[in-house]
Amino acid sequence: MKHNGKRLLYDELTGVYSRYGMKRKMEEVCGYTRSVVLLLINIKRFKWINKTMGHHVGDEVLRSVAKRLRKSIPNGTISRQWGDEFAVLLSDMKSEKQIRTLVESLMRTLQHPFFVRNYKIALQCYIGGIIAKSSEVQDMLKDGETALLCAKEKGKDICFFCPRMRAALHSKIEVAFELQQALPNQELALYYQPQVNIATGEVGGVEALMRWQHPKKGLILPGEFISIAEETDLIIPIGKWVIYEACRQNKEWREQGSYNGKISINISPKQFMQDDFVIYVQEVLARTKLDPSDIELEITESLYLEEGIYSKLEQLRQLGVQLSIDDFGTGYASFQYLKRCPVHAVKIAPQFVMNMDKEEPNKSIISLITALAEELQLQTIAEGVETKEQLSFLESLNCAYVQGYFFSPPLPPEELISFLKS
């Protein structure tokens, strides 16, 4: 029993406290001190280390991180909470300034390269912290996780807990619950934004964009709920509905003679990596009797880090589906990736287009993307076009298609048809 109790308290891989051991230590410390600091540390992109270098290297990295933490904070309590997350417990810190100085120093320490089995590995971390005065242990852990989640969402290295984060988290939970009901309650809808051929002025395609018609809050844009759908995996059933509805709508328009172009559909990385993704696309095309070339699937650059992506893209290409890279220039794509990837178009991210006059480098980025696309014989589609000056600049670069509020906002189906007629 004594031996098993010790095993529960300590993490076998790293030798530091386990999650259970840290909880016990926190209960002990909170019993005799009025001020404690809890830091939760998450290693960014740790899965990538396991995937590319092997789990044996990943395990060695975790051991090295634990060793460095113990050395950097000899008076603190260190634990491995789970996976790639560690915790540090500190007591009797004198001031908030002292705490923040220590955390910043700790971050710099973890960013120094690790040398593991002939690899030089530079880590980046998120740190979520809570400064608590005689708090319940379970609440401290929960608030620490909230601060860590906030750091991840905002892309900040360090984030300390404040009460309004708790309110934001509760709001997110509420949205997730309501979103779960949105699909069966038929509250989701697709709007369509025209893609205009610069040379001819004709609409060559439309992009399907999701909207949520909330029964109490009205029309909600995807920026307010897509990230929550991703986190909760609701994006998978929602994404399936989007593919079916876009294909069904396109077929209906074609039969009516209202519209004969393609529809572009955004695909979530999580959705794309489902084992049955290609099979599902085939099934939808068969059910709706839509020609595969009448849809275009937009994928993100982040997918290039996933295993098996090229075989799936090749299957879709052989099926006859068109493929494009969304928000090109903001992620991981390179010339080598583009040469291997069976896509027919790249979409220039709207932040480059909308800010081209405010930030001079954006014009250079757009010029480079269009030149690269032309070299590889790929179409370019620029998003976020709002002014005549932006349109003229894109036209001078021989950009093929543009979309944005300069021509039209995303429209519900019946308004899109009226737009096309006019």
Separation CA 250–CA 296 (nearest Å): 12
Tell me the pLDDT band of 334, cut-offs 50, 70 and 90.
low
3-state secondary structure of 20: helix
Question: What pLDDT is attached to residue 277?
Answer: 95
Percent of the chain with pLDDT over 70: 94
User: In order of start, what are the domains of the chain with their CATH numbers?
Assistant: 2-161 (3.30.70.270), 172-421 (3.20.20.450)
Highest-scoring range by mean pLDDT, 65-74, 237-246, 356-365: 237-246
Question: What pLDDT is attached to residue 390?
Answer: 94
Query: Which of these, 238, 282, 22, lies nearest to 137 by C-alpha position?
Result: 22
Q: Is the pLDDT assigned to residue 357 strictly greater than 80?
A: no
Question: What pLDDT is attached to residue 48?
Answer: 86
Tell me the pLDDT band of 167, cut-offs 50, 70 and 90.
confident
Question: What pLDDT is attached to residue 35?
Answer: 78
Sign, CA dihedral 199-202-206-207, equals positive
Separation CA 354–CA 5 (nearest Å): 60
Q: Is the pLDDT assigned to residue 333 strictly greater than 60?
A: no
- 167, amino acid identity: A
Q: Is the pLDDT assigned to residue 4 strictly greater than 80?
A: no
Q: 333 or 40: which carries more pLDDT confidence? A: 40
Highest-scoring range by mean pLDDT, 106-120, 182-196, 337-351: 182-196
Question: What pLDDT is attached to residue 134?
Answer: 55
Q: Is the pLDDT assigned to residue 332 strictly greater than 80?
A: no
Separation CA 133–CA 78 (nearest Å): 20
Burial (CB < 10 A; 0-12, 13-18, 19+), residue 379, is middle
Which residue reads 């979530």 in tokens? 268
Question: What pLDDT is attached to residue 133?
Answer: 67
Looking at every residue in the chain, the average pLDDT score rounds to: 90
Which contiguous run of DSSP H or E holds residue 81? strand 77-82
The b/e string for 71-105 (b: 16+ C-beta within 10 A; e otherwise) is ebbeebbbbbbeebbbbbbbbeeeeeeebeebbee
Question: What pLDDT is attached to residue 331?
Answer: 61
Bridge partners (DSSP) listed for residue 10: 17
Q: Is the pLDDT assigned to residue 306 strictly greater than 80?
A: no
Q: Is the pLDDT assigned to residue 338 strictly greater than 90?
A: no
Say if residues 105 and 97 touch (Cβ distance below 8 Å): no
Q: Which two tokens stand for residue 185?
A: 């309650």
Query: Which of these, 27, 34, 60, 30, lies nearest to 46 by C-alpha position?
Result: 60
Phi first, then psi, for residue 110 (nearest 5°) are -70, -20
206-230 confidence digits (pLDDT tens): 999 999 999 999 999 999 999 899 9
Taking CA atoms, 349 is separated from 146, 226, 327, 381, in Å, by: 31, 18, 4, 9
Tell me the pLDDT band of 234, cut-offs 50, 70 and 90.
very high
Tell me the pLDDT band of 41, cut-offs 50, 70 and 90.
very high
Separation CA 215–CA 235 (nearest Å): 20
pTM over 0.75: no
Q: Is the pLDDT assigned to residue 1 strictly greater than 60?
A: no
Separation CA 342–CA 322 (nearest Å): 9
107-153 confidence digits (pLDDT tens): 999 999 999 988 899 999 999 999 886 568 888 899 999 999 888 88
List CB contacts of 336: < 8 A, sequence separation 6 or more: none
Least confident of 3-12, 62-71, 239-248, 372-381: 3-12
Least confident of 75-89, 337-351, 375-389: 337-351
Cα-based torsion angle of the residue sequence 398, 400, 403, 406 in order, rounded to the nearest 10 degrees: 40
Taking CA atoms, 165 is separated from 6, 153, 173, 182, in Å, by: 36, 12, 12, 25
Question: What pLDDT is attached to residue 265?
Answer: 98
Q: Tell me the average pLDDT across 6-13.
A: 85
Separation CA 410–CA 148 (nearest Å): 35
